Structure 1
Amino acid sequence: MSINIIGLGYIGLPTALIFAKNGIKVTGTDYNKKLVEQLNNTQVPFKEEGLEELFQDAINNGIKFSTDYIKTDTYILAVPTPYVEESKKLDPKYVISATNSVLDVCEKGAAIIIESTIAPGTIDRYIRPIIEDRGLVIGEDVHLLHAPERIIPGNMVYELENNSRTIGADNPEIGEKIKKLYANFCMAEILVTDIRSAEMSKVVENTFRDINIAFANELTKICRSDGMDVYEIIRIANMHPRVNILQPGPGVGGHCISVDPWFLVGDYPDLTNMILTARKTNDSMPGHVLKRIRDIMREHNIMDITKVGLYGLAYKEDVDDTRESPTYQLLHRMDEHLAFGVKVFDPLIKEAIVEEQYLEFEEFLDDVEIVVVMVGHSHIKDNAAKLKGKLVLDTKNVISDMDTYKL
């Protein structure tokens, strides 16, 4: 068996590498010529624990990278699945495009496995029709499956091997065949179900987390309004054996939790009041951070916004993934309020990608009076002593042994 994996980003690349490491013949395909050249020059495009070693194992086992789709019997699609801003519905254009390209070259009876997170019913609404329009018979000429990824940046390699998987298939026998394929590296339970259930389950998982984060963030606002310590309250409440409140933060980023719940809101607008409220609550947190910054500036009679420095551009700790990050959201809000000139630093982002971004921590600190910790990187914990003398707004509650402002 050989696999053509389409899309070599944060999900597709690790998936391609781990299949290759475990003896499967793999070609990774991406339209980005620069990325493909980089991979063919044995350069890993992003940092991830264990990824360099996995990449070398895959190279040793003959993995190939190309901008072309190859003729084979198994395809895995790991392409972007954004939502449409106005309607909040899934934008299926990348999945549709990739599927059409697969259909141009695939062998008869090929399996097309969509790993990208998609809204419930996406395969029925968009993928089946383009196959049928070509006069192909689903279940004979091609087989459709959905195997949603369940990994998170920062722990991808471990989670690929140890997180359970779901395989959605029209035909249980094909589902079992693909289950055996994933069992080459997945040591956890692999469940075979129908496609719609697989689509829905992945979106539900991320929506559940979004709602839980929103509860913590709403508690933060309540406690801030009445002078209570939200962290102490959460600590006490979590001593109850059936309570597990998450920690609040400056917002929700990444391409999963901040995106996938919108699919349900877009498709079921009259049935998703709680989900919509959670999304609005989490999206409001960068604005809450901006208000806290203004409060600190007024308290200390600081009139110049350029004296404010945002620490962290990534969407979570110890990764260089900036997609949908709360810092980006906050910068956008500052632009709306004509608050230009705020400084930015992230130790994992080695190239300037926003205005007023610093690449050296000490230079960043020299030029600011207020440091807003937006991401709890290990770096800031290890260098907390260097923050002495600064006003620190610790939105992640990771700085100890010094007085800081909280959310």
Structure 2
Amino acid sequence: MINVIGLGYIGLPTALMLAAHGMDIVGTDYSKELIDTLKVGKTTFKEKGIEELFQKALDNGITFTTEYQRTDIYIVSVPTPYDSFSKKVDAKYIEAAVKQVLAVCEKGATVVIESTVSPGTIDKYVRPIVESAGFSIGTDLHLVHAPERIIPGNMVYELLHNNRTIGADEREIGEKVKKIYASFCQGEIIVTDIRTAEMTKVVENTFRDINIAYANELAKICRSDNMDVYEIIRIANKHPRVNILSPGPGVGGHCISVDPWFLVGDYPGLANIILAARKINDSMPEFVLERIHDIMKEKGMTDVRRVGLYGLTYKENVDDMRESPTLQMLESMEKHLCGNLVKIYDPFIVKDVVPNQMHSLDEFLEAVDLVVLMVGHNEIKQNMKKLNNKIVLDTRHICELEGTYHI
């Protein structure tokens, strides 16, 4: 039996995928509400293919509980935030999970950390807990790091097809864990040491963050001198070795907006480009606010209540709001005492999570004159004609209506 610890955006799909492919799985989470929801056959977030995967896992006998199980394999997939002051990884959830595993595990058990962590986290935080509990690492307990490589919106496909990395102290244990993931993973699975596996995952997300920052900085440069950044990127990308991304309103999610900070926090004075990229991307919500102000001034608008933000999630067609640019922007607007005045709408967020949140596109559009497209959900792409009589600020380059403003 495998006990999967933490049933959020990563842990739940992983548990379901393993169960659907014949593994004996028990999923554990501290949230009784979440467990109760899963027990009645309901998923806790929207995701393409997740319902079908859930049903197959249920048919194969997956169970859910708040209790840690006595077994010899654990997969820990709990959150790993960063300390907002030091920028270092906050390993408290991993530490708590490992302590509870040690209280029940069989001798010789393997603990696989899936959570993304900074290089050296397992050495600094996990090994001391294991050793202080009287366990001999390599005999009484084996440690492995197998960082996840999936993204909301395409989780099921990416779980099946993305390459994976397994970091282990002992090659034999690494190969054992590789066989578990090979039960469903069709990509290449590489076995290496733990520290390399830790660094590889953080480097991957940092690479993406830096590329996004370059596009966002280009947008600022072009805006300052009245140039079309999208046309410039389109032409530049005709070069066979150039692939510039599109600028946007900021970076959200729990990977790209978080993981680079681990390197900044752990390697101050060395991670200079990484720090600059983080600052650029974190500045974009404020940059969008400046664009809103300029457009309102140009159009003679004085009532912020006629401004509407379309999209609360951090990317299109998911219900994941973690670190979303819209939430970052609302936080900034609160400092200017206008965060609770603008109208907000997102088709994927049903519950009220912010002031003035609306629950239908038509109701939203009726209430506003200036629409700020923060997220490119399919819903708005399919209803662009409804924006014909609106002032539109498009931060995602999805609107082709004449007179549309861009960042």
TM-score normalised to structure 2 length: 0.99
Question: Which aligned pairs between 1:224-235 and structure 2 lie closer than 5 A?
Answer: 224-235=223-234
Q: Secondary structure at the match of 1:284?
A: helix
Q: 1:396 is aligned with what amino acid?
A: R
Q: CA deviation at 1:248?
A: 0.4
Q: Secondary structure at the match of 1:233?
A: helix
What is the CA deviation profile of residues 107-152 of structure 1, one whole-angstrom value per residue up to 9, with x for unaligned ones? Answer: 1110000000001000000100011101110000000000000000
State the partner residue of 1:185. 184
Query: For 1:44 and 1:125, how far apart are their aligned partners in 2?
Result: 35
Q: 1:330 is aligned with what amino acid?
A: M
**RMSD in angstroms over aligned alpha carbons?**
0.6
Question: Which aligned pairs between 1:154-173 and structure 2 lie closer than 5 A?
Answer: 154-173=153-172
State the partner residue of 1:271. 270
What is the CA deviation profile of residues 266-319 of structure 1, one whole-angstrom value per residue up to 9, with x for unaligned ones? Answer: 000110110000000000000000000000100111111111000000000010
State the partner residue of 1:11. 10
Q: Secondary structure at the match of 2:295?
A: helix
Query: For 1:161 and 1:79, how far apart are their aligned partners in 2?
Result: 21
1:297 equivalent in alignment to 2:314 = no
State the partner residue of 2:115. 116
Question: Which aligned pairs between 1:59-70 and structure 2 lie closer than 5 A?
Answer: 59-70=58-69
Query: Could you say if the C-alpha distance between residues 401 and 302 of structure 1 is closer, same or farther in structure 2, counting changes exceeding 3 Å?
Result: closer
Query: For 1:196 and 1:404, how far apart are their aligned partners in 2?
Result: 48
State the partner residue of 2:316. 317
Query: For 1:111 and 1:319, how far apart are their aligned partners in 2?
Result: 33
State the partner residue of 1:395. 395
State the partner residue of 1:382. 382
Query: For 1:73 and 1:265, how far apart are their aligned partners in 2?
Result: 36
Q: 1:165 is aligned with what amino acid?
A: R
Query: For 1:182 and 1:274, how far apart are their aligned partners in 2?
Result: 34
Count how many residue pairs are aligned between Structure 1 and Structure 2: 406
State the partner residue of 2:216. 217
Q: Secondary structure at the match of 2:405?
A: coil
1:342 equivalent in alignment to 2:362 = no
State the partner residue of 1:361. 361
CA contact (8 A) 2:388 2:401 kept: no
Q: CA deviation at 1:181?
A: 0.8
Structure 2: give runs of 5+ residues left out of the alignment.
Answer: none
Question: Which aligned pairs between 1:33-72 and structure 2 lie closer than 5 A?
Answer: 33-72=32-71
Query: For 2:269 and 2:222, how far apart are their aligned partners in 1?
Result: 31
Query: For 1:400 and 1:294, how far apart are their aligned partners in 2?
Result: 22
Q: 2:205 is aligned with what amino acid?
A: N
Q: CA deviation at 1:159?
A: 0.3
State the partner residue of 1:370. 370
What is the CA deviation profile of residues 83-112 of structure 1, one whole-angstrom value per residue up to 9, with x for unaligned ones? Answer: 000100000000000000000000111000
What is the CA deviation profile of residues 157-189 of structure 1, one whole-angstrom value per residue up to 9, with x for unaligned ones? Answer: 000000000000000010001101100000110
Q: CA deviation at 1:359?
A: 0.7
Q: CA deviation at 1:402?
A: 3.4
CA contact (8 A) 2:88 2:266 kept: yes
Query: For 1:96 and 1:241, how far apart are their aligned partners in 2?
Result: 47
Q: 2:231 is aligned with what amino acid?
A: E
CA contact (8 A) 2:80 2:89 kept: yes
Query: For 2:132 and 2:57, how far apart are their aligned partners in 1?
Result: 37
What is the CA deviation profile of residues 349-401 of structure 1, one whole-angstrom value per residue up to 9, with x for unaligned ones? Answer: 11111111001111111110000000001111001111111000000001124
Query: For 1:241 and 1:28, how far apart are their aligned partners in 2?
Result: 47
Q: CA deviation at 1:50?
A: 0.3
State the partner residue of 2:329. 330
Query: For 1:239 and 1:39, how far apart are their aligned partners in 2?
Result: 48
Query: For 2:240 and 2:108, how far apart are their aligned partners in 1?
Result: 51
What is the CA deviation profile of residues 178-230 of structure 1, one whole-angstrom value per residue up to 9, with x for unaligned ones? Answer: 10110000011000000000000000000000000000000000000001000
Query: For 1:244 and 1:32, how far apart are their aligned partners in 2?
Result: 43
State the partner residue of 1:73. 72
Q: 2:398 is aligned with what amino acid?
A: V
Q: 2:176 is aligned with what amino acid?
A: K
Q: CA deviation at 1:67?
A: 0.3
Structure 1: give runs of 5+ residues left out of the alignment.
Answer: none
What is the CA deviation profile of residues 329-355 of structure 1, one whole-angstrom value per residue up to 9, with x for unaligned ones? Answer: 000010011124011000111111111
Query: For 2:47 and 2:315, how far apart are their aligned partners in 1?
Result: 13
Q: Secondary structure at the match of 2:215?
A: helix
Query: For 2:86 and 2:6, how far apart are their aligned partners in 1?
Result: 26
Q: 1:68 is aligned with what amino acid?
A: E
What is the CA deviation profile of residues 228-259 of structure 1, one whole-angstrom value per residue up to 9, with x for unaligned ones? Answer: 00000000011101001011000000000000
